[in-house]
Amino acid sequence: MSQTGAFLGFVHRRRRGAELFLLILALAVGLGAYAAVGLGVNDEVPADIMVYGGWLTALSIAAHIAVRITAPYADPVLLPVVTALNGLGLAMIYRLDLARDTELARQQLTWMTIGVGLFVLTLVFLRDHRVLQRFTYTAGLSAIVLLIMPMLPVIGTSIHGARIWVRLGPISFQPGEVAKVLLVVAFAGYLVLHRDALALAGRRLLFVDLPRGRDLGPILSMWAVSLAILVLQRDLGSSLLFFGIFLTMLYIATERPGWLVVGAAMFFSGALVAYQLFGHVQARVSAWTDPFASWDTGSQQVGNSLFGMAWGGLLGRGLGQGRPELTSYSESDFILSAIGEELGLTGVMAVILLYGLIVERGLRAALVCRDGFGKLLASGLALVMALQVFVVIGGVTRLIPLTGLTTPFLSYGGSSLVTNWVIIALLLRVSDQARRPVPDLSGDSETEDAAEQTQVVKL
């Protein structure tokens, strides 16, 4: 083998052994947290830890085997990171179960089982992410249908003031969680076809090239959809998420900051109008500016979460030693405040670092991907994770108004957990395609070019 061939062999190592080692560490985090909760609350290890640990281990190993067989060159960091987050979330939900006498952790483990099952099915049946480009408009239409479903009179239902749920018999789910993945597929397919036209500059204003007026149709449409979600479904978080995804993907596709200027102006103007017209938006802003102003008559969520994180301090009270159950919805919207109370600022920073790794590995897959659709798909999926984590953590810590989104892999909720496992499967599929070695068909010169283009896929 030539030196170039040897270099390529090093670059394109499959790294499944590294993934397995990291997966063992991730399982140690989840199982260790579960045991620590039992010791902190009841002074004994939970009686079902063997069954729980066996179930969690079986799911993780099944996911690893699926990646090893169907995507051998995929990124080795993504699966262990999400396993650690999911395990930590299960432990924290179990801790709240002990305080409230509920069984949400058992339900969440069932949802994780379904999520891992769909994760495996996605990798098995989707062998090339470029197939999704054929369904650009189908995915867009399906996403619109899913977003409309909660507004239908029979199946749509309101929970906690937001009409974002669909109930079919005993089963309820959030169609918007599935819609965000379909929208990323639709946006990626659309922008690959039309980015040349969208990249054309219009008028120049203050050193920024603004887009042409004739090209504003897509962003106006997405702006209208996001405002409709905000007004009709009272869902500030999804409105911000969907518009933010489209705007950032549009910027990535065209590399023109003018789109960011126009999009930001449209978003803030729409948010200002919504604040003037709708009481639920005003309530969110009031709770953000002064969470203690209406302590006796208004929501106490933000205030309680701030008290809890302040009590936790730098290192936390210890798992099972705090009072996170005093904060409403601490198993879902405010689970990060529960982590901050019992694991402290150190635990919160570790969680944020894990999310940063997911986003970084997703963007790395986009960077080395060889096709435009794959680049935009991986970028969009990574940005979904980044934006959702930002608005959730920003709301809990009072950086921005509270939005009501769930924290990926940590919060209780089947729709979010299952969808996020599918997102990871799609990122692994793009990563496998990007890291897979290019066959040397025409001599050393092209092999050297391929080596230069794939240096960044090293772990």
Per the prediction, the chain carries an average pLDDT of 83
Side-chain half-sphere CA neighbours of 157 within 13 A = 13
Say how many CA atoms lie within 13 Å of 239 toward its Cβ.
Answer: 26
Residue 243 is predicted with a pLDDT of 82
pLDDT score of 172 more than 50: yes
To the nearest whole percent, how much of the chain has pLDDT over 90?
46
pLDDT at 192: 86
- Overall average pLDDT of the 339-368 stretch: 95
Per-residue tokens: 161: 């003031």
**Cβ atoms of residues 139 and 82 within 8 Å:** no
- 176 or 227: which carries more pLDDT confidence? 176
DSSP H/E element including 164:
strand 162-168
Residues 6+ away with beta carbon under 8 Å from 90: 30, 34, 56, 105, 108, 109, 112
Q: What angle do CA 318, 320, 322 make, to 5 degrees?
A: 70
- pLDDT the model gives residue 259: 73
Q: Please give the average per-residue pLDDT across 41-66, as a whole number.
A: 94
Please check the confidence at residue 352 and state whether its pLDDT lies above 90: yes
Tens of pLDDT, residues 185-229: 988 988 888 777 676 655 655 555 555 655 566 667 776 777 777
Band (pLDDT 50/70/90 cuts) for residue 2 is: very low
372 Cβ neighbours under 8 A, 6+ residues apart: 192, 195
pLDDT band per the 50, 70, 90 thresholds, residue 449:
very low
Residue 400 or residue 9, greater confidence: 400
What confidence tens digit (pLDDT) does each residue in 16-38 have? Answer: 999 999 999 999 999 999 999 99
pLDDT tens, residue by residue, 240-262: 888 888 888 888 888 777 778 77
Query: Does pTM top 0.85 for this prediction?
Result: yes
pLDDT in tens, 300-331: 788 888 899 999 999 999 999 999 998 888 89
Q: Which are the contacts of 16, defined by CB distance < 8 A and separation ≥ 6?
A: 64, 67, 68, 72, 76
- Sole residue written with tokens 């008559």: 297
Q: What is residue 300's predicted lDDT score, i.e. its pLDDT? A: 77
Q: What is the DSSP string of 193-229?
A: HHHHHHH-EEEEETTEEEEPGGG-HHHHHHHHHHHHH
Query: Does 97 have pLDDT greater than 80?
Result: yes
Q: How far does the chain reach from its first CA to its final CA, in angstroms?
A: 23
Of 251, 248, 178, 230, whose CA–CA distance to 390 is shortest?
A: 248
Does 457 have pLDDT greater than 50?
no
Give the per-residue pLDDT at 440. 56
pLDDT band at 165 (very low <50, low <70, confident <90, very high): confident
* pLDDT of the residue at 160: 62
More confident residue, 168 or 114: 114
In the block, which residue shows the tokens 């949400």? 104
The whole-number pLDDT of residue 23 equals 96
Question: Between 208 and 286, where is the model more confident?
Answer: 286
- Residue 427 confidence class, pLDDT cut points 50, 70, 90: very high
How much is the average pLDDT of 53-80? 95
Instruction: Calculate the alpha carbon distances from 403 to 113, 207, 235, 269, 389 in Å.
Output: 28, 34, 7, 18, 11
